[in-house]
Each structure stands twice: as C-alpha cells, then as structure tokens.
Structure 1
Amino acid sequence: MNLPPSPVSLQRPGRLWLLALLFCAEVLALAVAYQFFAVIECHATDLNGVCRFLRSLVARAVVMFAAFGLLLWARPLALSAFRRSVEGQGAALVWRLLHVLGVLLLISPLAFAPGGNIGAVFDLAVWPLLLGSVLAAVGGLFWLAPPQAWARLLVQDHFAPVITLALAAVLPDLADMALPLWDWQGLTRLTFDAVHLFLGLFASDIRVDAPGYIIGFPQFSVHIARQCSGVEGVALVTGFTVLYAFIFRDTVRFPHFWLVVLPLAIMLSWLLNVVRVGGLILIGQYVSPDLAVNGFHSYAGWVFFTLLALAIVWGVQTVPWLHRARMSGPTTAGRLTEDPLAGALLPFAIFMGVSLLTHALFPHPELGYPLRAMALGLAIWAFRGFYRQFEWRVDPLAVALGGLVGLGWLWFDQADARAGMDLARALGGLSGWMLAIWIVTRLIGTVLLVPLVEEMFFRGYLLARLDGPAPWQRLLAVAVSSAAFAALHGRWLAAGVAGIIFALVMLRRGRVADAVIAHIAANLVVAAWAFATSDFARI
C-alpha cells in the first residue's frame, strides 16, 4: 500500500485541516516560484491593474486561510457539524482534477516566459493565470467539502464565513488605501526619530539627513519612504484584530477590547516596524548589505508582522478580563504524528516554509541549507513511527533506475555558470568548520532527507490520491504528479522524466518506499559528483 491505513478516529477528524495544509503548501510554492524564478514589472505591462491584482492573490490567500482557521476555532460546534456532514463522503474526482488543473495553469507561464520574464509575455500569461486562479479556488473549495456541506455551514453560521473571508480578502487593498497616511509629515518624522533612537542603542556613528529622511551609517543607509514604512504590517495586524473581534463577538467584552486591544495592536505594529527598519540598517552595516536589501527587507517584515498578529490573537484569547465567557476549543482524537496524511503532507510543507525563510535571512539562500536540513530532520523524527510502517527493502531495479536518473540529471544539466560562481563565493566566506558543517548537512539533506519528504508528497500522496482503476486515471496521476515535481525543481524536461520514472517505480509494486530508494540513488550520484568536483550548485 502507498499509505498505511489508520483508524477512522485518527484520519477523518484531520482531513479538513490536512487538505487546508496542502493548499497552504501550494500557495507557498507558487509564492516561491514567482518570487525567485520570475520577473514581473506590472507598470511595464498594458494590464497594470490586472497584474497587480494577480500579484496580490498570494497575500489574499494567506490572510483568508488564517482567517478561516480562526473562524473554525471560534465555532467548534459549527465545525463539528461540518465534519460530520462530510465524513465518509469522498470528494468527486472532477473537483480534484479542476484544482490540480488550476495549479498547473498557474505554474505554466514559467515554462514559456523567456528567462522567467513574465512581464514580456503578460498579454498571453494573463489568461492561464486568471483561469488557473478560478479553477484552483473552486476545485479546492469543493475538494475540501461538497457544495451541500458548504451551503449548510453558511446557513448554520449565519453567513459569518462569507463576511469573514470577504474582510480578509480586502486587507491588501486596505493596506494600499492606508499608504497616504504615511505622507503625513508628523507621523513620518516620528517614525524617523524612533529609528534614530533605536540605532543609538547600538552605535554612535549614525548618519542622519533629516530633510531627506535618510538614516544609517557612512557605509550603509536607507531612505525611509512610505514603501518601507511597514503600513502593510500595521494593516495586517489591525485587520486580524478586527476580524478576531467580529468572529468572537459572542464572548468578547467590546468596551475593553476597543479601548485596550486595538490601540495596543496598532502601537505594537508601529514599534515592530521601527525595530524592523533599524534591524535592516544594522544588518546592512555589520552583516551584509545584500541580505538587508534583498532578503531582510523583502520577507522578514512579512514574517514578523504575521507572527505579531498571531501573538496578539493568542494573547487576547488567554486573558479572561477581555471575555464575558471562556470558550474551550474542539478536541481532536489521536495524535497528529500518527495520521498518515499528516506524515505525507506536513514535512513537505515544513520543507517549503523553511526554504522561503532561508531566502529571507541569508545573503545567498543556499547558505541556510543547514537550517533546512535540521527542520527536515526534526519533521522526519516526529513522524518516525509513520515511516517505520513501510517495507524498507532495497529493490535492485529501483536503485538502477535511480542511478540512471542521476546520470541523466548530470548529463543534461545546463546550470547557469554565474549561479555556481555566486554560490562558490558565498561558501568562500565561511570559516573552515562552518564550511564542513554546510557540506555534511548538504549531503545528508540531499541524499537522505529530501528524497523521503518529496516522494512521500509527490508519489505517496499526490500520485496515490489521483490514481484509479481506469488506465486514463493512472496516466493522469503520473502526468500530474510528475509535472508538479518538475515545477518544484525548475527543470521541466529532466525533472519531469525523473518524476515519471519514480512514479513507475512506485506503481510497479505499489510501494512508495521503492520510489524513495530510487530517488536516494539518483541524488547520491549527483551528490557524489558535486562533492568530487566541489560544484555544489548541481544539488
């Protein structure tokens, strides 16, 4: 079997959450793909408004996922009824196919855009992007639960989900609308002075150009414009605070909440923005200007403000003074680490999340590979009981086919020489023991950890879920799982062929462990070549 069976009490209660986790992983993968492998300058296209809307869909999806999770937490009875209504009802194949087709359409512009420049072909790319967004959303919605279950949930909860998701969806627009507030000279000056005071805690040679709002050091300084004011974070935190008040309106004490929590949330958002800007300047001065501009400036603010919003929501929920009555959340049967779907999905989601984090925190994202390996190792260790249920016997044919995949990967490699030089320069800046740690974790992660996590997701979950008794269903399952595998690796032909081979290896005996072993053999060949030639850009 591809995934070991588990009792219904363990698997059914987690189905909705695990599918939501899959959708979050897809959104994260799309964000990474379009952030690091594509170039889109909306102002240079003829459809600036449509382009900006499409670029905002990832942020909207993330906020809507979080808001819906908050809603389900606040309505345990409605959630319980929703689960009971869909228990035992598998999603119709048409919805799964629509969702997968939509995701593939969203990825497709990366395949035909020259050099990843989506803007150059945006008139053509806009159609698969728009159609893919609709199909992925509709298919995912009804994959999660049939239309009848959604209708009952909306009526039973007085259409609160629609209002909640609508409010969450417009948060990016509220952030744009709030941008003119940062043109108010008094507020801008207050932020500038606060950054100056923060930097004064760590250094004395601060360069200040008050009329131009430029602050920093002789070697690195920034202009505090409204684009880097952190208004998106303030809008996010404020929006989540208001959403919390709306969702928990039956238990929250509103005079206390509006007079204390909302002003505190806005103040904390502003203070966090001051720390963010000051931290960016300190990193640019003492660590790396590239890390400050290209990494920290772009991503860390989003991460920090999201964590702040969640921390405020958690803090409010734990203070009895802010509630008329305490509310207990729903209980779950069984441990998450015992759920086979979680074992297939959660480590992959962690892998994608930590990959994004390394792009945010390191001047060259590959320098953060030890962090990725550690996160993967912890995830695999947490689900070790699940992985032990598989039959881990070495199949000579799987090893042979995996070795051929590795040789083909090397033979058809057309890696950018500049990318290899950039990585070599980044590694050259490490000390001897740090370089040794990086090499060891890179080899362990590439050869052992990544094959296990990727195969459990692409073959153990995606291929197994789409597979069926009809030949066309099997063919579709192989094609879709291989195309998704290719999209993740950025080499459509080589990775697509590798995905097909790994799928056939699994289907030969119905054992995902065979696909894992073949993947390990392939990566071992590539890693051995990379280690022998010191060309780690190949893995």
Structure 2
Amino acid sequence: MSTPDENRDLAPAAFGSSPVLAYVLPFVLFMVLGAAEGWEPLKPYYPFVYTAKIAIVLGSWCYFRRRYPAPSTAGLGWGVLAGIVGVVVWIALWKLNLERHIADILPSWLYSAERIGYDPFTAITSTGGAWAFIAVRLCGLALVVPLMEEVFWRGFLIRYLVKDDFESVPVGTFTPWSFSAVVVLFTLAHPELLAAAIWCAGINWVLYRTKNLWACITAHAVTNLLLGVYILATGSWALW
C-alpha cells in the first residue's frame, strides 16, 4: 500500500491539461450547475437537473483522477471519527439556528443562499420515483460531493495558498494563512455558517494529522452519509 508521501508523485504531471484545471473544474461545474437548480423555469425538473449535475461533475472528476493523490488507507480511522463527530456538531448547531443570527450581520451578497430543501415524497407522485431520486441524492451527497470538494478545498486551494506551484507542496502542509482562508471561504459557501466553520477546521486538522487527502474524503463521506440518513429519518429536508 502506498504512503501519503508517495502519493504526491503518483499523479502524472503530463496528464490532462493544467493541474489547476484538474483540481478546480469539477468544483466550478458543481457550483454553476447548482445555481441552475434554483432557476425558476428548471425548478419543476429538479430531480433531472440534479442527476445531470452529479453525472457531469463525477465525469469530470474521473477524467482527471490520475492528477489527484492515489488512494491510501493512512489515517482513515481519523477520517471516520472526524466524520461522525462532524455530523453531530453540524446537526446540533443547525437545530440551534445560530447561523441565522450570524447571517443577520453579514452583507446579503456574502451569505450563501438557503438550500432547496426538496422533499421527494411530496414533489414526486411515484413512490418508486421518489426512492430512485433519493438514491441519486445520497450518491451525490456521500460520494460525489466529498470527492469534488476535498480535491478542491484541501487538495488544491489549501496548497495553492502556500505556493502557486501547489503540486510541489506536500499534502498536509500547515500555514496559518492557508488554514484560515480555507475555513472562511468554505464557510461562506454554506448556509450553515457556524457549523461549516467548525466542521472545516476539523477536517483541516485531519489533513494535517494524516497527510492524506483520502482521510479527508472519508471524513466528508461519513458526515454526508450520516446526514442523509438523519434527513430521511426525520424529514429535515431543509438540510439538503
């Protein structure tokens, strides 16, 4: 099994286009297509738009996959633990609704819009169709989002803020600036401000502790999967 240090040399520099494009494009596609979901003419077709978004983003990630650090089991236990703690913190803070008070002091353009809160059992007349979309939604939540976001936030940006030639920066390199900037930007990309800030700081810690991007992907996947289970069990659709 490869080590995280070896992983830095396993993504061939000659593959695909620029390294920045490889790390950033899946995230950009996700954000742009996500914005389209809220466009009024497309709202009735949300399940189809979301499915297309997930397929396109996953396809772009797979295309560039050889650019990214190769999978490693180093520190995955820390990732699982952080993912479990993270979902508990996220749900607890969401229920307290503290983010709304924080949002009140921010400029409106700086605060991320609320989630769509799509209830498939109400919006989709067929029970089978509702469960089919739930399967797609969980796939996006627990697989595609962790892969895409971790490659961007902790594979690219946290290293790019250390050095423009980010691939030369070892995974897990700490600087106060890169740590803080990623926490702030990640937070502003989510409506659950306080929960996002604490969660992101925790996953940054996993990165520094394990030196393994895949431990962060694991943490993200565990948090999102458990969050999805919670949403289905409680009907807390506002969380997705």
What is the TM-score with the length of structure 1 in the denominator? 0.35
Q: Do structure 1's residue 479 and structure 2's residue 187 form an aligned pair?
A: no
Structure with greater contact order relative to length (CA < 8 Å, sep ≥ 6):
2
- Share of identical aligned residues, percent? 21
- 1:362 to 2:42 alignment: yes
The structure in which a higher percent of residues are helix is 1
Q: Which has the larger radius of gyration?
A: 1
Structure 1: tracts of 5 or more residues without a match: 11-333
Q: Is 1:369–1:438's contact at 8 Å kept on the other side of the alignment?
A: no
Q: Which residue of 1 aligns with 2:111?
A: none
Task: Please tell me whether the aligned partners of residues 76 and 214 of structure 2 are also in contact (alpha carbons under 8 angstroms).
Answer: no
After TM superposition, list the pairs within 5 Å mapping 1:344-363 onto structure 2. 344-360=23-39, 361-363=41-43
Distance of aligned partners of 1:420 and 1:513 in 2 relative to their CA distance in 1, 3 Å threshold: closer
Q: CA deviation at 1:376?
A: 2.1
Q: 2:118 is aligned with what amino acid?
A: L
Aligned pairs (5 A) from 1:133-144: none
Is the counterpart of residue 412 in structure 1 residue 93 in structure 2? yes
The one-letter code of the counterpart of 2:27 is F
Instruction: Name 2:77's counterpart in structure 1.
Output: 396
Q: After superposition, what is the alpha-carbon deviation per residue over 1:45-99, rounded to whole angstroms, capped at 9, x for unaligned? A: xxxxxxxxxxxxxxxxxxxxxxxxxxxxxxxxxxxxxxxxxxxxxxxxxxxxxxx
Check whether the contact 1:451–1:516 (CA below 8 A) recurs between aligned residues.
Answer: yes
Shift of 1:420: 8.8
Question: How far apart are the structure 2 equivalents of 1:524 and 1:379?
Answer: 22
Distance in 1, Cα, partners of 2:200 & 2:46: 24
SS in structure 1 opposite 2:38? helix
What is the identity, as a one-letter code, of the residue corresponding to 1:520?
A
2:132 aligns to what? 437
Deviation at 1:502, TM superposition (A): 0.8
Where in structure 2 are there 5+ consecutive unaligned residues? 101-113, 164-168
Rounded to whole Å, the distance in 2 between the matches of 1:346 and 1:520 is 20
| Among candidates 328, 331, 343, match of residue 22 of structure 2 | 343
Q: Please say if residues 12 and 66 of structure 2, whose CA atoms lie closer than 8 Å, have aligned partners that are also in contact.
A: no
Residue among 178, 183, 191 paired with 1:490: 191
CA contact (8 A) 2:26 2:58 kept: no
Query: Aligned letter for 1:428?
Result: T
Q: For 1:487 and 1:365, how far apart are their aligned partners in 2?
A: 27
- Taking a change above 3 Å as real, the CA distance of residues 376 and 501 of structure 1, as seen in their structure-2 partners, is same
Q: Does the Cα contact within 8 Å between 1:370 and 1:437 map onto a contact in 2?
A: no
One-letter amino acid matched to 2:93: F
Change (3 A) 1:480 1:382: same
Tell me how far apart the structure 2 counterparts of residues 389 and 340 of structure 1 sit (CA, whole Å). 15
Q: Which residue of 1 aligns with 2:201?
A: 500
State TM-score, norm by structure 2: 0.74
Q: Aligned residue pairs: how many?
A: 207
Structure 2 vs 1, CA of residues 427 and 366 (structure 1 numbering), >3 Å: closer, same or farther? farther
Structure 1 residue 423: Cα displacement: 3.2
Query: d(CA) in 1 for partners of 2:226 and 2:117?
Result: 23
Asked if 1:4 is matched to 2:8, the reply is yes
Provide the C-alpha distance between the structure 2 equivalents of 1:455 and 1:421, rounded to a whole number of angstroms: 23
**1:538, distance to aligned residue in structure 2 (A):** 1.5
Aligned to 2:118, what secondary structure does the other structure show?
helix
Which digits, 9 at most, give the CA deviation of each residue in 1:276-304, with x for residues without a partner? xxxxxxxxxxxxxxxxxxxxxxxxxxxxx
Q: Distance in 1 between matches of 2:223 and 2:236?
A: 17
Query: Does structure 2 retain, via aligned residues, the 8 Å contact 1:482–1:496?
Result: yes
Counterpart of 1:525 (choices 221, 226, 233) is: 226
1:461 equivalenced with 2:151 (yes/no) = no
Letter in 2 for 1:363: K
Aligned to 2:56, which of 375, 384, 395? 375
Q: Which residue does the alignment assign to 1:516?
A: 217
Letter of the structure 2 residue corresponding to residue 441 of structure 1: V
